[in-house]
Structure 1
Amino acid sequence: MPDQPQQTVIVWLDPSQLPFVQAVAARARIRIVAAGSPARARSQELAEALAATCVDDLRNTLISLSPAGGAGGPGAPPKDMPQSSADQCDLIWLASVERSTALEPAILDAVRACQDRGITIVTSEPIPAAVLELGSSDDQSGVLGPMTDSSTADELDSAGPSSTWPALIPRFRAGKTMPDLTDSLEEFGSPRTIHFECFGLAVECSLGARLMDAMDTIRSLVGEPEEMFALHVPTLGLARAAPSKSALDSLRDLGGTMSAIMRFSDGRSASVLVSDAGGEWRRSLTLLGDPNHPKGGRLRITDVSMEWIGSDGAVLERTRKRRSIGPISAPPLFTPASTLPTSSAIDVFAEALSQNGRRRAKSLPPMNHVGVLAMTGAILLSARTGQAESPITIRRMVGAG
């Protein structure tokens, strides 16, 4: 059986991510046809290292793109226009974004228009990174509509255009072990306590991306909490971060370690510990069930395994997934330790970028950005105020119009 053709990818990366991106591309068997960087002066150097065409303007690149092997939709370049390797691709991977660039409404609109033309964009950084970014350049205020005390989370969530935003990778819910968890939950029963962890290096993805992934996972299992209390330890030093002028901080440019605990209206709880200064990649979800349930106990799932221990201590199920992608390539010599890609992280990102990983991600509902960003907003607010905060507070702050 012939091999599937290589996916062609345009990547936007920080210079420090070069060894990581090279290793992921080799493992996922993707071909990088163009590359650029928020550090524009380094774009040519990075493109040459990746044997790719240089693109140094993200917005113009998004506007000019058309799907590989097919005509574009509205806004795509004319069919008779000469096409270069940077004008067509199967996928755009935003491994990094610049804070000022990504916050421009014109960039956000170009991202959404590109997806509307059938070009898949995936991002390793939060886009959007705050509830206020959910509006287009023509509708930046009041993106959630009128807010009342009787408004439900579901009613407010319907305002979020989630399907037009880039998919976050690697999304834990799109991992290859999640179907095992879904199957087991029917017998396990409703989880009473949840704990999510994700550790790794900043060259893989930021603290903000890990926090967004954590909230997406927890929200999908137990809904939205009533209260959230969080603590943030910056990467450099232990001094508390200065208060922001805005009541709504962004996930972008967030680094260090974040811990949070959550209380739900029905008595359930959840906790999170995420860090982009935690060494080798580790990501896991632990569920504790009802002790009175005959098959409750503890479920623990990672990117590659699942373990179910019954309430009596017996092992009910253990599974481990095999690698479904290519071999790792050695990192360049003299790579700084802080940017040295770890095998586990390369595996996870390569799986997410592979055709199997993308098919799995497309089978899921898109991330509910309104709900997820309301939760991350409450965490950021709590970390700044030192008080418990609620996602509904974030909804009210941006829903006044």
Structure 2
Amino acid sequence: MNDPAATHEVLIWTDAERGDLIEQVVGRMRGIHILAVGGPRKGPLAPLAATLDARCEDDLRKMLVDQPASFLLLGTTTGVSKAELEQAQRSGTTVLALEPVAADLDVLGDEALVRTVVMMPALYASPAWQAAAEPQQALGTIQSIHLSSLAPPAAGSLYTRFYESLDLLMTLMPSPETIDAALTGPLKQVPDDLRSLTGHLTAHLRFAGGASAVMHLSDRADAWSRRLVIIGDEGQITLDDISYRLSAADGHTLDELAPPDKPVAIDPADLIVAQWQKLMDRAPSPRTAPPHQIIAAARSALLSCRTGELESVATLLRMRRGAAV
């Protein structure tokens, strides 16, 4: 809850669409005090600011300069540039984001800065992933991965589902060589930018050495659901946000996390709260993949959705390196 005596002061930058989710998160948090709520259009945010007993602003840079906080929670990336992220870094403010801060290979120009931003709720911060064995050690050579990330619109964009899923994949595997993707749903045309993606996206990724991964993503599902299956030559890991099973190649269980009171539906607000509380307790942040590799794969998928053809991630990365010379 919003506690004026708390030691962790928080700034919130969001749009009205994420207001309900943020209100739920703040209501369940311990030890935080909301200083200000802001967004590109502060009028629709006035009720949220009043509920949280905080100022309502429309200038993020001013918010960061006037009253530095322990955390900046981003519900939207509109109005967020390299300058604001640099100001947060100078102020010692940890940036938490419900949406990726970068969607273009060169939009921020500082990959190290992008990697300081903590995406929430990340599957790698979930109770199941924290309990799981290290896949590379437990499974031998990884051969096949299936990852699904489905959510309703209020829980985040399709690009968020895609970015976070690619980030996790690329901590397990190298950057994919090729990707074949399809987009279905309400859009009549495939958009030019990643943030405009909406609907349902499927993708097949191929890696050097013959391994492959299949992704099923949606921002128009009826409920939150994430599931990961990793198959290696020595076993299999199957997990969602709160349960996990490691099995040997012959099928018998080697390790598992199976909550007896597992809920029918998982609330993303609870996952955000759990991840944030661990950060407040100074839990180390897990490794993340290089943002330019994540975005290159995402943009290759966007191109594949448009052309209907297999696209080369490696070619896009080589073009980026050539342009940087």
Q: Same fold (TM over 0.5)?
A: yes
Q: Which residue of 1 aligns with 2:252?
A: 314
The count of residues paired between Structure 1 and Structure 2 equals 316
Tell me the C-alpha RMSD between the 2 structures: 2.6
Structure showing greater radius of gyration is: 1
Q: 1:7 to 1:398 in 2, by over 3 A?
A: same
Q: Give deviations 1:18-63, integer Å, cap 9, x for gaps.
A: 222111112222432210123333233331132211111123223x
Distance 1:185 1:164 in 2: 23
1:92 lines up with 2:72 in the alignment: yes
Structure 2: gaps (5+ residues): none
Shift of 1:6: 5.4
1:214 lines up with 2:147 in the alignment: no
1:167 lines up with 2:118 in the alignment: yes
Report if the CA contact (8 A) 2:36-2:63 is conserved: no
Shift of 1:322: 9.6
121, 128, 132: which is aligned to 2:95? 121
Q: Which residue of 2 aligns with 1:223?
A: 174
Q: Which residue of 1 aligns with 2:297?
A: 375
Shift >6 Å, 4+ stretches: none
Identity of aligned residues (%): 26
TM-score (norm 1): 0.72
Once the two structures are superposed, the pairs formed by residues 25-40 of structure 1 within 5 Å of their partners are 25-29=26-30, 30-40=32-42
Q: Which residue of 1 aligns with 2:308?
A: 386
TM-score (norm 2): 0.87
Distance 1:378 1:42 in 2: 36
Q: Which residue of 1 aligns with 2:59?
A: 57
Q: 1:308 to 1:32 in 2, by over 3 A?
A: same
Distance 1:241 1:383 in 2: 7
Report 1 or 2 for greater relative contact order, CA contacts < 8 Å, sequence distance ≥ 6: 1
Q: 1:164 to 1:126 in 2, by over 3 A?
A: closer
Q: Give deviations 1:264-286, integer Å, cap 9, x for gaps.
A: 12111001111111122111211
Shift of 1:120: 0.5
Query: Counterpart of 1:198 in 2: which secondary structure?
Result: strand
Once the two structures are superposed, the pairs formed by residues 262-273 of structure 1 within 5 Å of their partners are 262-273=205-216
Distance 2:174 2:290 in 1: 11
Shift of 1:197: 1.1
Report if the CA contact (8 A) 1:115-1:164 is conserved: no
Shift of 1:91: 0.5
44, 48, 53: which is aligned to 2:46? 44
